[in-house]
Amino acid sequence: MLHRKVVVRDYHGLRLRPAARIARACRDIDSKVTISKGKEVADATSILEILLLDAGLGSSLDIRAEGIEEELAIRRIVGLF
């Protein structure tokens, strides 16, 4: 299992378009990918779950990936921030 911390730097926070980009980036990866903010955990392939994290500007998120392509998953998501 790999994990990285990222900070939301977009002025508007993690809204629909960025959440959709994250979900699209994770769909074809053969790993379980989650994003967490505090105690809230979201499946990274679900736009709705990502939006429910309510991650505003400056929010710290933990990206976790477990599986065959975990390194690829982490690189793709971190690259979107």
How many domains, the chain?
1
Cβ atoms within 10 Å of 59's Cβ, excluding its own: 16
User: Average pLDDT for residues 2-31, to the nearest whole number?
Assistant: 92
CATH code of residue 66: 3.30.1340.10
- Looking at the DSSP assignment, which residues form a beta bridge with residue 34? 43, 64
Task: Say how far apart CA 31 and CA 72 lie, in whole Å.
Answer: 9
Phi, psi at residue 77, to the nearest 5°? -70, -45
Domain membership of residue 32 as a residue range: 2-79
pTM, whole model, 2 decimals?
A: 0.89
Residue whose C-alpha is closest to residue 61's, from 1, 2, 8, 18: 8
Question: β-pairing, 60-67 with 2-7?
Answer: antiparallel
- Tell me: pLDDT of 1 over 90: no
pLDDT bracket for residue 72 (50, 70, 90): very high
